[in-house]
Amino acid sequence: MRLAGKGLIDRSTPVTFTFDGRSYQGYRGDTLASALLANDVRLVGRSFKYHRPRGILTAGSEEPNAMVEILEGNQQTPNVRATVQEVFDGLQARSQNRFPSLKFDLLGINNLAAPFLSAGFYYKTFMWPRPFWEKLYEPLIRRAAGLGSLSGRHDEAQYEKAWAFCDLLVIGSGPAGLMAAWTAAQAGADVILAEEDARMGGRLVSDNLRVDGQPGADWVEALLDDLKAMPNVRLMPRTTVTGAYDDGTYGALERVGLHRAPAPHLPRECFWRIVAGQTVLAAGALERPIAFPDNDRPGIMLASALRSYLHRYGVVPGNRITLIANNDAARATARDLMAAGVKVVAILDTRPDATALEDCPVYLNAQITGTAGHLGLTAITFRHAGGTATLETDCLAMSGGWNPTVHLTCHMNGRPLWREDIAAFIPAEGAVPRLTPAGACNGTFSTAGAFRDGLAAAHTALAALGRPAPDMALPMAEDAPYTITPFWQTPGVEGRQWLDFANDVTTKDVKLSAQENFRSVEHMKRYTTQGMAPDQGKNSNVAALAVLADATGRGIPQTGTTTFRPPFVPTSIAAMGAGGRGAGFAPQRFLTSDQASRDRGAPMIEAGLWYRPSYFPKPGEKTWLEACNREVTMVRESVGVSDVSTLGKIDIQGRDAARFLDLVYTNTFSTLPVGRVRYGLMLREDGHVLDDGTTARLAEHRYLMTTTTAAAGLVMRHLDFVHQAFCADWDVRFLSVTEAWAQFAIAGPRARDLLATLLGAAPDLPFMGVTDVSLGSTPARLFRISFSGEEGYELAVPTRYGEALFRDLVARAETMGGGPYGMEALNVLRIEKGFITHAEIHGRTTAFDIGMEKMVSAKKDCIGKAAAARPGMIGPDREQLVGLRASSAMTAGAHLFTPGDKVHRETDQGYITSVCWSPTLSAHLALAFVKDGRARHGTRIRVVDHLRKIDVLAEITDPVFHDKEGAKLRA
């Protein structure tokens, strides 16, 4: 029911929303919870395990019951807390975990079966027979117990990630947070004030408080106006700080677009990483429920929530309200209600010694023994100092005291301390470096106390930041002491007393846990699932461990708490992974020939981050293999052009450049003549092959190293390490020039003819030579190297000319019966020639394995040399590189067995790394590693791939199938 004239909602802006298909009206400034209560909707959900009818318990993000699905186009967001979701025109919400409807839920049968479903039930009951667990029990349990559901469609919505830096981060905008932010802002510090709620002010806008003689909300509004005008203050409403991390880093989740209809490019949420010099934690406190039989009926809520609905939203959730408390909270709530003209049936004070003087009946030493009302509270039964009684009531507000919101102070291993006088945990000192707790989260519960705490925390932060503190007057506010007599549960009664509403855990479950010797608080948590629901035990932890402490005869400090871990509130993976959808966060690297290749219909494949053409289809070709075969034959018989710019290129200079290369390569580069190119092999320090490639000597003290595409970054890091760790004083400098040059392979018997048309004369360049050439006025470099086995050249130009050169080369090739070739053909050409890639040098192969042990120079040291000579790195037991030839297809990953042997792990002889159909040899070829393979050329081996149903015989051969003598290369 909405009260006229009360609340901070915008009554000039009514909004229409739906809940379970029915249309309701609320106002801008309402949450879904306040708007539903205003419409007298009390039943909003079904509980997780027993499908009990549940209503709204809180007015904040800790809500354990009122979780709904929000529908938005194709989107369906489950487990949205109705107490956080703001209403807007067109909002569609739906209750969850019920079938077929909220009021009539068939799975409510679970509730009747409750005696059998107590804590630990699943572990004990569904043990046997074993296969039933996966196939029967678990699916059944998952359907019955649960929360909301997903749409099953991709989340197409927008999310955002961002960084922020500040001198002072203030978490929470209640009196402590506002005071801290205001003080630091006055001192000139760069301040971020993050507030979970849409509206700043904390209890100042939810309670009937006065500050400096004004209503709290007005005072807050005036202060916020001042803060907004300051360039050094950033206000971040709707932003929950979710985690405290090392070195002043915080995670925070901002609800950017969840409170309004979607708009293009407007993110639903933004995940912030905030780096703060200092932090003031002013996160407030969370009120505790009290356990008594059937304390979970719709209509039973926290006293502080009731006050929030009353003062902030102008809503009262019942006509006949009763209160129960173990502290003074009920008194203030009752007075507020009566002042608003709401009927207060009675105050039940669990304390025997409190005053009974109020304008309504007060029962002392009161303990609720039962409640009634199927889908909503109708009555309570209780005992008290004077006997027992039953009262008709449709709303019961409870306060079991306050838990300071210490969560963030526990994120870095801090253990909170028990304070007996307030019966609550407070943050340990220095739990998070550079963070000062203030106000209610530090156990200071009065408004004036919060202001004092906030000011003091700001002083601490400013001193650490080296800024003088400004003179600030403390606002005048109530300073009532907080007195509490702990009361956790009604003793000695039948019936289920709920602790964890979200996970359906009762006091009995906790006692059972202790009885079964799961006495540690961490064991109890896992045994009962208490604290494992979306609210992470915010409503139940302290009460549960009080019950556990009682059951085990220990005190609360000895029992301790479970560990609070980030995130503080449920955080969507979509927000944390913003930018990762679709092409994702991996940069896309495009060749200069990209458009030219796509123009020819080439499908692109990813190679590292690069996009390279797979093949260039011609009219009439139906499969990639047809195109690939044609391109291979084209290179073998005329000329092909391929973009090889993706290979890593490193410019290495200095008087010690040669010496440096001799250290990182197994073979010697100091002896390489200027103008020549040499193949080089690089090892890791553990003796395995790191990478291979050609390196050209461009001048006496200048080399150009080539790396494989995949390992370009890895090699650069390795070179940096070797240089900085072992020879930082050498005269050597190197830098990647991969991006500076576009480089194209021109391969085939007519490659020289093609270059003759381009350069005006056939190049006179020996195999493994390099020279500077000019293309018009464009300087270029010509290498005579080959990865195909044919006479091959690579022509490099500054990148800006890449596209033009590629188009030119392809056009020239086509006049000669040639054309472009893609990655598929490139792979076949190299397999035919026995050239290795990272399929072969995959991190577990040595120079010996690939038949290159002679390339490890005996005359000098190099990285990896000592380790490569260790026992086990060389010899007949090693799997050695061989070729395989077969008449039917083989697969990479297939394992090899000696014909006649049983096929199992013990007889495994090796595995295949690369395969192709060779149009040149009309055979299926493979590169493989086989035990003692070099001694087995000419013998047969069995190829088995169970996964792809391959079982064929192949002949072991030399890995070089094509032109073993290299006559074509040197032509």
Binding to other proteins in span 828-887, by CB under 8 A: 861, 865-867, 870-871
Q: Which stretch binds other proteins (CB under 8 A): 47-55, 391-399, 647-655, 839-847?
A: 647-655
- Which segments of 617-656 does DSSP mark as H helices, in order? 624-637
Asked if 415 and 428 count as a contact pair (C-beta separation under 8 A), the reply is yes
- Per-residue exposure over 54-92, b if at least 16 CB sit within 10 Å of its own CB, e if not: bbbbbbbbbbbbbbbbbebeebbbbbbbbbbbbbbeebb
Nearer to other proteins, 147 or 464 (CB): 464
Shortest distance (Å) from residue 190 CB to other proteins: 7
Instruction: Candidates 131, 387, 492, 587: give the one binding other proteins (CB under 8 A).
Output: 587
Tokens for 532, please give them: 């494992």
Asked if 195 and 175 count as a contact pair (C-beta separation under 8 A), the reply is no
Rounded Cα distance, 897 and 946, in Å: 13
Instruction: Candidates 353, 494, 700, 729: give the one binding other proteins (CB under 8 A).
Output: 729
Query: How many residues bind to other proteins according to rule CB under 8 A?
Result: 86
Shortest distance (Å) from residue 645 CB to other proteins: 8
Residues 143-162 contacting other proteins, CB under 8 A? 158, 160-162
Q: Which stretch binds other proteins (CB under 8 A): 321-329, 417-425, 455-463, 727-735?
A: 727-735
Rounded Cα distance, 848 and 683, in Å: 12
Rounded Cα distance, 288 and 303, in Å: 9
∠ Cα 124 128 131 (to 5°): 130
Strands (E) across 179-290 are located at 191-194, 210-211, 214-215, 233-236, 239-245, 249-255, 269-281, 285-287
Helix (H, G, I), strand (E, B) or coil at 90: coil
Closest CA to 477 of 454, 458, 460: 454
Nearer to other proteins, 260 or 885 (CB): 260
Shortest distance (Å) from residue 231 CB to other proteins: 10
Report if residue 325 touches other proteins, rule: CB under 8 A. no
Nearer to other proteins, 104 or 585 (CB): 585
Residues 666-695 contacting other proteins, CB under 8 A? 685-686
Residues 46-85 contacting other proteins, CB under 8 A? none
Report if residue 17 touches other proteins, rule: CB under 8 A. no
Shortest distance (Å) from residue 563 CB to other proteins: 16
Residues 443-502 contacting other proteins, CB under 8 A? none
Shortest distance (Å) from residue 394 CB to other proteins: 39
Instruction: Candidates 737, 874, 889, 944: give the one binding other proteins (CB under 8 A).
Output: 737
Burial class (CB in 10 A: 0-12, 13-18, 19+), 5: exposed
Asked if 149 and 69 count as a contact pair (C-beta separation under 8 A), the reply is yes
Asked if 941 and 954 count as a contact pair (C-beta separation under 8 A), the reply is yes
Nearer to other proteins, 277 or 603 (CB): 277
Report if residue 799 touches other proteins, rule: CB under 8 A. yes
Shortest distance (Å) from residue 440 CB to other proteins: 28
Shortest distance (Å) from residue 181 CB to other proteins: 17
Q: Which stretch binds other proteins (CB under 8 A): 10-18, 96-104, 288-296, 585-593?
A: 585-593
Instruction: Candidates 588, 623, 670, 888: give the one binding other proteins (CB under 8 A).
Output: 588
Q: Which stretch binds other proteins (CB under 8 A): 353-361, 672-680, 722-730, 888-896?
A: 722-730
DSSP designation for 259: T
Residues 738-767 contacting other proteins, CB under 8 A? 738-741, 758-760
Task: Give the position of tokens 């001042």.
Answer: 226
Asked if 244 and 411 count as a contact pair (C-beta separation under 8 A), the reply is yes
Neighbours of 671 (CB within 10 A): 12
Shortest distance (Å) from residue 28 CB to other proteins: 13
Closest CA to 604 of 325, 823, 882: 823
Report if residue 720 touches other proteins, rule: CB under 8 A. yes
Q: Which stretch binds other proteins (CB under 8 A): 37-45, 144-152, 728-736, 958-966?
A: 728-736
The type of residue at 254 is E
Instruction: Candidates 154, 733, 854, 964: give the one binding other proteins (CB under 8 A).
Output: 733
Instruction: Candidates 744, 801, 929, 961: give the one binding other proteins (CB under 8 A).
Output: 801
Residues 163-182 contacting other proteins, CB under 8 A? 163-165
Instruction: Candidates 775, 855, 874, 923: give the one binding other proteins (CB under 8 A).
Output: 775
Give the count of alpha carbons within 13 A of 335, CB side only.
9
Q: Which stretch binds other proteins (CB under 8 A): 98-106, 674-682, 729-737, 889-897?
A: 729-737
Nearer to other proteins, 44 or 704 (CB): 704
Rounded Cα distance, 258 and 255, in Å: 6
Closest CA to 822 of 490, 524, 593: 593
Q: Which stretch binds other proteins (CB under 8 A): 90-98, 353-361, 453-461, 732-740?
A: 732-740
Nearer to other proteins, 697 or 830 (CB): 697
Q: Which stretch binds other proteins (CB under 8 A): 80-88, 580-588, 614-622, 896-904?
A: 580-588
Q: Which stretch binds other proteins (CB under 8 A): 116-124, 203-211, 626-634, 715-723?
A: 715-723
Q: How far is CA 837 from the centre of its chain?
A: 33
Residues 238-277 contacting other proteins, CB under 8 A? 245-249, 256-257, 260, 263-267, 273, 275
Q: Collect contacts of 853-858 with beta carbons under 8 A, ≥24 apart.
A: 855/666, 855/667, 855/681, 856/666, 856/667, 856/681, 856/683, 857/662, 857/666, 857/667, 857/668
Report if residue 356 touches other proteins, rule: CB under 8 A. no
Nearer to other proteins, 517 or 778 (CB): 778
Nearer to other proteins, 111 or 743 (CB): 743
Q: CA-CA distances (angstroms) from residue 600 to 603, 607, 614, 616, 774?
A: 9, 19, 12, 6, 28
DSSP designation for 422: G
Report if residue 412 touches other proteins, rule: CB under 8 A. yes
DSSP designation for 107: G
Q: Which stretch binds other proteins (CB under 8 A): 122-130, 280-288, 455-463, 578-586?
A: 578-586
Rounded Cα distance, 270 and 260, in Å: 15
Asked if 806 and 593 count as a contact pair (C-beta separation under 8 A), the reply is yes
Nearer to other proteins, 479 or 739 (CB): 739
Rounded Cα distance, 210 and 853, in Å: 85
Residues 284-303 contacting other proteins, CB under 8 A? none
Shortest distance (Å) from residue 726 CB to other proteins: 4
Q: Render 61-86 in DSSP notation, one character per residue.
A: TT-SS-EEEEEETTEEEEEEETTTPB
Instruction: Candidates 717, 844, 854, 970: give the one binding other proteins (CB under 8 A).
Output: 717
Shortest distance (Å) from residue 932 CB to other proteins: 24
Tallying the residues shown for the chain, one arrives at: 971
Instruction: Candidates 40, 626, 803, 955: give the one binding other proteins (CB under 8 A).
Output: 803
Asked if 707 and 650 count as a contact pair (C-beta separation under 8 A), the reply is yes
Nearer to other proteins, 574 or 797 (CB): 797
Q: Which stretch binds other proteins (CB under 8 A): 376-384, 396-404, 523-531, 775-783?
A: 775-783
Report if residue 579 touches other proteins, rule: CB under 8 A. yes
Nearer to other proteins, 36 or 91 (CB): 91
Instruction: Candidates 89, 731, 772, 901: give the one binding other proteins (CB under 8 A).
Output: 731
